Structure 1
Amino acid sequence: MRVLWLWPSKECPPAGIEVRPQNDHADRLGAVITVAALSPSLDITYVVDQLRLGEIHRPTEVHRVAGGKSLNLARAATAVGAPVQTIALLGGSTGDFLESELRREGIGVRRVDSPTETRTCVSIGSAAGHELTELYPYAPAIPDAAWQEFRRVFAEELSAADGWLAINGSVPDGPPADALAALTRLAIDAGLEVAIDSHGPALAGVLEARPQLIKVNRYEAAELLGRDPDRAEVAELAKIISARTGGSVIITDGRAGAVFCSVEAGTVRAELPADVSGHYPVGSGDSFLGGWLAATDRGADPADALRLATGCGAANALIPGPGLLDRRTARQIADRTVLSRLS
């Protein structure tokens, strides 16, 4: 089994340990990006030679990370130099592990205790067929007392924050139906810019709160607007959503790239280099948004932010483990990303 460690570059790792180069955070600039994590998880990725149902498997690689969409975003943004502070609902020994992992990675954590153990999600990658099998339990319901404490801590953190707030992922059972919209309004009223990546009723309910950025994939956008995802034109979907919120919209579309739309900048498509393809897409959308926020936080225009976001999403798919990416690889892909103006 191959075990990957992060090891300081000036020290020698133990014999037999493969080193993953650490990301260099010396270029961090800009305001702290605040990330709200309502449904975090311990994400475990097993890599096996070939997955066969009903048989015992001996993984060749095992990767454990503090996951869930929000924490994947936080890790990716940190990898490309952004300072990040998370507000995370964490429970039990699993929550303890996630908190320690985030701190080890240089990500700020304001923990809100949950009486329920933080969930564990598992992905199994087959090296032979490049297939990924995912076991993702729903996030546990949030008791009312924990939700009220989360809101209190959230408001307290916002009072000292500036820049971007990101909320991505599902809202577990328990909080009111308008929970996502309520958090969005709190952040906007506190002077922050808000980025939302969600789906279903929570996403529909947040439109009237008018967040500065909505980032979804083709299927989530089509669901929001009641369209057929296989027939819908992504650029058209982006324009409709942008018109409703008055803000920016990004729709990712797998290997087809992504479309950005705003009233000020128009509509732009980003296309991946043809020779870039990864086998571990879990967390790529989160990494995309992390790259976008990191670039925008440093003052990049939409075109440059779209390039870095595309590079981060693609780089994530090259490495097992969601939100894990190499900064240099992400920037190399970003430099080769092709942008075309649609309107």
Structure 2
Amino acid sequence: MIDRLVTIGEGLAVFRTNSDDGLRRAPDVTVSTGGAEGNVAMAAARLGLASTWMGRVGADGLGERVVRELRAEGVDVHAIVDPGHPTGLLVKETSAGGRTDVTYYRALSAGSTLCASDVDGLQLTADTLVHLTGITAALSASARDAIERLLALASDAGSSVSFDVNHRSRLWSTLDAGPVYRSIAQRADIVFASVDEVDLLLPGWGGQAANAANAAEALAADGHRHVVVTDGAHGSAARIDGATTLGTSVSVDVVDTVGAGDAFVGGYLVALSRGDDVETRLRLASQLGAAACRHAGDWEGVAAWSPDEANREPVSR
């Protein structure tokens, strides 16, 4: 049974503009928030699963906004205010061709100073699901120490652990990232990855037929009992205890894909906590991922999603 989700990571302020000239001549900028772990926590909380987010923010208005928006979406926030480092920033600019370009300003951010002692106050039980991502691991050595401490606390409490690879090549190289991802994945009960990320967990796998089902089966053969692999518009696959279940993508007019993977994970974990079958988990996950794509913000599309959509048939692109 899962009655609460706990996650740690970096909360980011988000600036975005729809001006064809980007920030150079944009008459205005929309301010919001982002961050993979917070996106998952908000999606889960909105669907009724109690969720806790823990992280560091700067002693600035952007940090206050991150905390306020997480709390407004029903997340229990454990935020450490760091006066010596600013809140990280993500800037989205939409080009004339409709492409969204993303730039991060997170070097020496408050979120990157997350450390092992920060997580000691988190209360875990056997009914807690701890959710981790490769993004937090990429932030700094001290953030990796925080993950290690949380994994130890989860083991002591008998908590289950989910891990989303969520690789960010701008933060570190695949050479540095791979061993860390593999170490975390080996201790996770559930592993999420995109088809493109499987090679980070299984070096050399990329030369094989790359689809979600094959990838999930390869990860299972490597010892992972419960894996979920996504493949964009081609759908997804879950491999659990030797059985593979395919998920179908949802047709959507895409505005921005940032946050879609987080929404997918949030939906899957909520359905898992409810005891739903695998088909239902993948269906809800795809619905939420599609909802995220319909909005320029990282999580706002999920906030606007209606449970009635879960009753609609998924449609392949």
Q: What is the TM-score of this pair, normalised by structure 1?
A: 0.77
CA deviation map 1:2-24 (0-9, x unaligned): xxxxxxxxxxxxxxxxxxxxxxx
Choose the corresponding residue for 1:214, options 187, 191, 196. Answer: 191
Q: Contact (CA 8 Å) 2:131, 2:161: kept in 1 or not?
A: yes
Partner residue in 2 for 1:56: 25
Partner residue in 2 for 1:318: 294
Which one scores higher on RCO, CA 8 angstroms, separation ≥ 6? 1
Partner residue in 1 for 2:40: 73
Q: Distance in 1 between matches of 2:2 and 2:109?
A: 35
CA deviation map 1:162-216 (0-9, x unaligned): 331111233211327665355324213312111111243331121332x111111
Cα offset, 1:314, TM superposition: 0.8
Q: Distance in 2 between matches of 1:163 and 1:130?
A: 41
Going from structure 1 to structure 2, the CA distance change for 1:192 and 1:338 (only over 3 Å counts) comes to: farther
User: How do 1:1-343 residues align onto structure 2 when only pairs under 5 Å count?
Assistant: 31-37=3-9, 39-48=10-19, 51-52=20-21, 55-59=24-28, 62-65=30-33, 67-93=34-60, 94-114=62-82, 115-126=84-95, 129-138=97-106, 140=108, 147-154=115-122, 157-158=123-124, 162-168=127-133, 169-171=135-137, 172-175=139-142, 180-198=147-165, 199=167, 200-201=177-178, 202-209=180-187, 211-226=188-203, 227-228=205-206, 231-263=209-241, 266-273=243-250, 275-324=251-300, 325-326=302-303, 328-329=305-306, 332=309, 335-337=312-314
Higher helix proportion: 2
CA deviation map 1:291-343 (0-9, x unaligned): 1111111221221111101100111000110022246456526632269xxxx
CA deviation map 1:209-233 (0-9, x unaligned): 2x11111112211232223379523
Kindly tell me the number of residue pairs found equivalent between the two proteins: 299
CA deviation map 1:78-109 (0-9, x unaligned): 23232211112222213222112222222111
Going from structure 1 to structure 2, the CA distance change for 1:247 and 1:179 (only over 3 Å counts) comes to: farther
Q: Contact (CA 8 Å) 1:95, 1:118: kept in 2 or not?
A: yes
Going from structure 1 to structure 2, the CA distance change for 1:30 and 1:260 (only over 3 Å counts) comes to: closer
Q: Contact (CA 8 Å) 1:140, 1:173: kept in 2 or not?
A: no
Q: Distance in 2 between matches of 1:238 and 1:184?
A: 23
Going from structure 1 to structure 2, the CA distance change for 1:323 and 1:145 (only over 3 Å counts) comes to: closer
Letter of the structure 2 residue corresponding to residue 162 of structure 1? D
Q: Distance in 1 between matches of 2:143 and 2:8?
A: 16
Q: Could you say which structure has the larger radius of gyration? A: 1
Secondary structure of 2:142's counterpart equals coil
Deviates more, 1:294-303 or 1:320-329: 320-329
Secondary structure of 1:336's counterpart equals coil
What root-mean-square deviation, in Å, do the aligned CA atoms of Structure 1 and Structure 2 show?
3.0
Going from structure 1 to structure 2, the CA distance change for 1:327 and 1:249 (only over 3 Å counts) comes to: farther
Q: Contact (CA 8 Å) 2:116, 2:145: kept in 1 or not?
A: no
Secondary structure of 2:297's counterpart equals coil
Q: Contact (CA 8 Å) 2:119, 2:149: kept in 1 or not?
A: no
Cα offset, 1:46, TM superposition: 2.1
Q: Distance in 2 between matches of 1:125 and 1:331?
A: 31
CA deviation map 1:31-52 (0-9, x unaligned): 1221222x2211223223xx23
Q: Contact (CA 8 Å) 1:310, 1:334: kept in 2 or not?
A: no
Letter of the structure 1 residue corresponding to residue 93 of structure 2? I
Q: Distance in 2 between matches of 1:240 and 1:105?
A: 37
CA deviation map 1:255-290 (0-9, x unaligned): 1121111115x11221224x4231210000001001
Q: Contact (CA 8 Å) 2:119, 2:146: kept in 1 or not?
A: no
Q: Distance in 1 between matches of 2:113 and 2:35?
A: 22
Q: What is the TM-score of this pair, normalised by structure 2?
A: 0.82
Secondary structure of 1:136's counterpart equals strand
Deviates more, 1:234-243 or 1:295-304: 234-243
Gaps in structure 2 of 5+ consecutive residues: 168-176
